[in-house]
Amino acid sequence: MRVLAISGSLRRDSYNTALLRAARDLAPAGVAVEHYDGLAAIPAFSEDLEADPPAEVRDLREQIAAADALLVATPEYNGSAPGALKNALDWASRPRGTAALVAKPAAVIGASPSSFGAKWAQEQIRRALMLSGAMVVEPELAVANADQRFVDGELVDGEVRAGLAEVLEALAEFSAAESAIAA
């Protein structure tokens, strides 16, 4: 099973990108977590470009479509989801009804140095995914005080590692069940 991992942060030393690196290591047997790294290149969404989207958008859509599931890690900026991530999801939600996100199992996690763990941003991204037709799974993972849970870009907090493993297991189980139903 292939899980496409998208970090909503463009920052080089991002906690959310580090969280996705940890997901690669904690993935259940048979699950490959692959990082999408083209977020910064996606142009602003424009309906005028829908008929002939830019190459970066086509690549994003193809990568989502080829994945069995999606894992999104979002930071929180001013109590909201980052614009680059929301923009990418807007592109991936088109064309309506046949978009790459339709019926795609997805999980949303997030890390923030704040005491809230990007909960508001996660809520917004979950809503955007669900309204786009994705099947968002539980459990949730909000990593608060991220600056205390990572050392040199590595997730060192055992409780957070266990929570991340739980999210990955739930995503894998749900995706496998959906694949069995579709077959």
Q: pLDDT (tens digit, 9 = 90+) per residue, 5-58?
A: 999 999 999 999 999 999 999 999 999 999 999 999 999 999 999 989 999 999
Which residues are CB-neighbours of 39 under 8 A, at least 6 positions away?
6, 7, 8, 10, 84, 85, 88
DSSP-assigned letter for residue 139: P
**What is the number of residues in the chain?**
183
Predicted model pTM: 0.96
Distance CA 68, CA 173 (A): 11
Q: pLDDT (tens digit, 9 = 90+) per residue, 131-156?
A: 999 999 998 899 999 999 999 999 99
